[in-house]
Amino acid sequence: MKKPSSSAPKAKPAGKAVRAPVSKLYAVILAGGRGERFWPLGRASRPKQFVDLFGGKPLIRHAVDRLRGLVPPSRILVVTSRDLVPATRKALPMLRPDCVLGEPEGRDTAAACALATAFVHRRGGPDATLCILTADHLIADPAGFRATLAAASGVCARRDVLGLVGIAPTRPATGYGYVELGAPFAGPGSAPGFRKVARFVEKPNLGTAATYVASGRFVWNSGMFVWRVATFEEALRRFRPALAQAVLDGILPAFGDERKLRAALDRVYPTLEKISVDYAIMEKASNLVAVRGDFGWDDVGAWPSAGAHLGSDAAGNAVHGLVSALAASDNVFVNTQDGHVLAAMGVENLVVVHTADATLVCTREAADGLKALVRGLGADPATARFVK
Of the candidate spans 11-19, 174-182, 255-263, 356-364, the one that interacts with its own copies by CB under 8 A turns out to be 356-364
Q: Give the CA angle between residues 29, 31, 36 to the nearest 5°.
A: 150
Question: What is the rounded CA–CA span in Å between residue 105 and residue 110?
Answer: 13
Of the candidate spans 5-13, 53-61, 312-320, 350-358, the one that interacts with its own copies by CB under 8 A turns out to be 350-358
Cβ at position 326, least distance to its own copies in Å? 5
For residue 280, how many other CB atoms are within 10 A of its CB? Answer: 23
Q: Which of 9, 321, 343, 381 binds its own copies (CB under 8 A)?
A: 343
Cβ at position 86, least distance to its own copies in Å? 25
> b or e along 250-261 (b: 16 or more beta carbons within 10 Å of the residue's beta carbon)?
bbbebbeeeeeb
Question: What is the rounded CA–CA span in Å between residue 170 and residue 294?
Answer: 9
Is residue 358 close enough to count as binding its own copies by CB under 8 A?
Answer: yes
Pattern of binders to its own copies over 10-49, x per CB under 8 A? -----------------------------xx---------
Nearer to its own copies, 181 or 353 (CB): 353
Cβ at position 136, least distance to its own copies in Å? 22
Is residue 370 close enough to count as binding its own copies by CB under 8 A?
Answer: yes
Nearer to its own copies, 80 or 336 (CB): 336
Question: What is the rounded CA–CA span in Å between residue 114 and residue 122?
Answer: 12
Cβ at position 37, least distance to its own copies in Å? 12
**Which positions ≥6 away from 352 have C-beta within 8 Å?**
331, 332, 333, 334, 342, 344, 359, 360, 361
Is residue 352 close enough to count as binding its own copies by CB under 8 A?
Answer: yes
Q: Which of 202, 249, 266, 365 binds its own copies (CB under 8 A)?
A: 365
Q: Which of 5, 276, 305, 363 binds its own copies (CB under 8 A)?
A: 363
Nearer to its own copies, 266 or 357 (CB): 357
Nearer to its own copies, 14 or 362 (CB): 362
Question: What is the rounded CA–CA span in Å between residue 274 and residue 106?
Answer: 8
Question: What is the rounded CA–CA span in Å between residue 135 and residue 38?
Answer: 14
Q: Which of 328, 356, 317 is nearest to 340 (CA)?
A: 356
How many chain residues touch its own copies (CB under 8 A)? 40
> b or e along 327-337 (b: 16 or more beta carbons within 10 Å of the residue's beta carbon)?
ebebbbbbbbe
Question: What is the rounded CA–CA span in Å between residue 266 and residue 53?
Answer: 35
Nearer to its own copies, 214 or 343 (CB): 343
Is residue 105 close enough to count as binding its own copies by CB under 8 A?
Answer: no
Query: Is the Cα torsion angle 38, 41, 45, 47 positive or negative in sign?
Result: negative
Is residue 154 close enough to count as binding its own copies by CB under 8 A?
Answer: no
Nearer to its own copies, 62 or 320 (CB): 320
Is residue 377 close enough to count as binding its own copies by CB under 8 A?
Answer: yes
Classify strands 162-167 and 195-201 as parallel, antiparallel or unpaired. Answer: unpaired
Of the candidate spans 150-158, 214-222, 240-248, 351-359, the one that interacts with its own copies by CB under 8 A turns out to be 351-359
DSSP-assigned letters across all residues of 101-167: EEESS--HHHHHHHHHHHHHHHHH-TT-EEEEEESS-EES-HHHHHHHHHHHHHHHHHSS-EEEEEE
3-state secondary structure of 82: helix
Is residue 173 close enough to count as binding its own copies by CB under 8 A?
Answer: no
- The kind and range of the H/E element at 218 are strand 218-228
Q: What single letter denotes the amino acid at residue 1?
A: M
Pattern of binders to its own copies over 305-334, x per CB under 8 A? -----------------x-x-xx-------
Of the candidate spans 67-75, 213-221, 311-319, 368-376, the one that interacts with its own copies by CB under 8 A turns out to be 368-376
Cβ at position 218, least distance to its own copies in Å? 32
Classify strands 138-139 and 297-298 as parallel, antiparallel or unpaired. Answer: antiparallel
The site for its own copies (CB under 8 A) is made up of 39-40, 322, 324, 326-327, 335, 339-347, 350, 352, 354, 356-363, 365-367, 369-370, 372-373, 376-377, 380, 382-383, 386
